[in-house]
Amino acid sequence: AIYRATVDRQLKGQGGVFVKLPNGMMGFLRQVSGLAPGQKTLVQVTGFAEDGKALPVTSRLLFKSRLVIVTPGAPGSNISRKIKDEDLRQVLQGVADSAMTGSSSDLGLILRSACVTADLDEIRQDIADMRLLAENVLADLAGGPELLVDGALAHEAAWRDWADPEPDAVEQHPTALEDNGVLEAIDALLAPMVPLDTGGSMIIEPTRALVAVDVNTGLDTSPAASLKVNIAAARDLPRQLRLRGLGGQVVVDFAPMPKRDRAILEQVLRAAFKGEAAETSLAGWTPLGLYELVRKRDRQPLRDLMRA
């Protein structure tokens, strides 16, 4: 979602400012320079916040569609690296240059990988629509806090962003979730215990302060049991956090193992989180032998969505 906001007060120690949003909501913008209390500014929500906390927002706006992204403040035209065909890239570059003719020099454009299978006229229209939306929003600074562009709903975001690879099929009938086992998968994700292939388990319990993860070996008492179950948990942890919509500080209590095995586990963790879209920082081991990481809150937790 994109809002017109009013700068509230600075938090110099945290390198940002609070901004007033509509309906009494507050946002936190990691920017101080060039902003003064009472000033109007445009911000875009970048994640979700727990009850009572300010929404994380940014002043770097992105206007996304399935095919293109218009980027105010980042001029130039770029084409997704996933598009390898040089002839197609040249054609798309020509379409982009033509469609952006006459626009502000401050506007940039990214052609997404879905352009590979799209009709050129469809791409031109998409660029025109996103460009017009961006220009209208950027010119709308007058007035109090207001929602200018609503955020995409879940199915809209999926259609927009899950374009590569193309889905094998799209089902929209009333029993689609039940027929494909989605409801059972959701029930499993709402349960704290995650069975692991090794026979052990991982317990994931979100709290207000952090996400606690406890790894257990189960009935396996062999010398290598701890390392095996810890590796299995490390490989599955990114997926579990992503599907459950969990972020913030994550503390993992791995099954007890010799310190010499920590390097192996760290290597597995780095590989497991490497392909994740959500920004993740692996902080490492605490003096008490717990492992800490921080994952960006990129969406609302599944448990909260199911309560709504």
Q: Which of 112, 133, 161 is the last residue of a domain?
A: 161
Are 134 and 253 in a shared domain?
A: no
Share of the chain above pLDDT 70, in %: 99
> Model pTM greater than 0.95?
no
User: Model confidence at 223, in pLDDT bands (50, 70, 90)?
Assistant: confident
Do 76 and 50 fall within a single domain? no
Please check whether residue 46 lies inside any domain of the structure: yes
169 assigned to some structural domain: no
The answer to whether residues 152 and 234 belong to one domain is no
> Are both 126 and 154 inside the same structural domain?
yes
Confidence at residue 165, expressed as pLDDT on a 0 to 100 scale: 67
Q: Is the model more confident about 32 or about 117? A: 117
Decide if pLDDT at 137 tops 90.
Answer: yes
Write out pLDDT tens, residues 232-243: 999 999 999 999
In this prediction, what percent of the chain has a pLDDT beyond 90? 73
Same domain for 302 and 191, yes or no, is yes
Residue 145 lies in a domain: yes
- Across the range 62-69, mean pLDDT stands at 94
Confidence of residue 40 (pLDDT cuts 50, 70, 90): very high
Q: Where are the alpha helices (DSSP H) in 67-181?
A: 86-99, 120-138, 154-161, 176-179
Which residue range forms the structural domain that includes residue 264?
Answer: 180-307
> Which has the higher per-residue pLDDT, 32 or 146?
146
Segment 138-154 shows an average pLDDT of 91
Q: Where are the beta strands (DSSP E) in 76-226?
A: 76-79, 107-111, 146-149, 193-195, 201-206, 211-216
Q: What CATH code is carried by the domain that includes residue 41?
A: 2.40.50.140
Dist CA 101 CA 93 (whole Å): 12
> Are residues 73 and 146 part of one domain?
yes
Q: How far apart are CA 189 and CA 158, in angstroms?
A: 19
275 and 300: one domain? yes
What integer is the mean pLDDT of 197-218?
A: 94
Provide the CA 293 distance to its chain's centre, in angstroms.
16
> How confident is the model at residue 308, as a pLDDT?
63
Q: Does residue 174 belong to any structural domain of this protein?
A: no
Least reliable range by pLDDT among 56-65, 92-101, 292-301: 292-301
175 falls within a domain: no
Residues 97 and 141 in one domain: yes
pLDDT at 168 over 80: no
Residue that wins the pLDDT comparison between 30 and 212: 212
Q: Is residue 166 part of a domain?
A: no
104 lies in some domain: yes
Closest CA to 144 of 9, 39, 53: 39
Mean pLDDT of 127-131: 96
The CATH code of the domain that includes 71 is 3.30.230
Give the total number of structural domains in the chain.
3
Mean pLDDT over residues 89-96, rounded?
95
Please give the mean pLDDT across all residues of the chain: 91
- With CA atoms as reference, report the closest residue to 43 among 35, 153, 13: 35
Cα–Cα distance measured from residue 265 to residue 257, given in angstroms and rounded to the nearest whole number = 10
Question: Residues 37, 90: one domain?
Answer: no
Complete DSSP assignment for 234-287: HHHHHHHHHHHT--EEEEEEPPP--GGGHHHHHHHHHHHHHT-SS-EEEEEE-T
- Tell whether 298 is covered by a domain: yes
Whether 80 and 155 share a structural domain: yes
Q: Would you place residue 164 in the very low, low, confident or very high pLDDT band (cuts 50, 70, 90)?
A: low
User: Which of 161, 189, 223 is at the close of a domain?
Assistant: 161
pLDDT of residue 222 exceeding 90: no
- Cβ-based burial of 133 (10 A; exposed 0-12, middle 13-18, buried ≥19): middle
Q: In the prediction, which pLDDT does 261 show?
A: 95
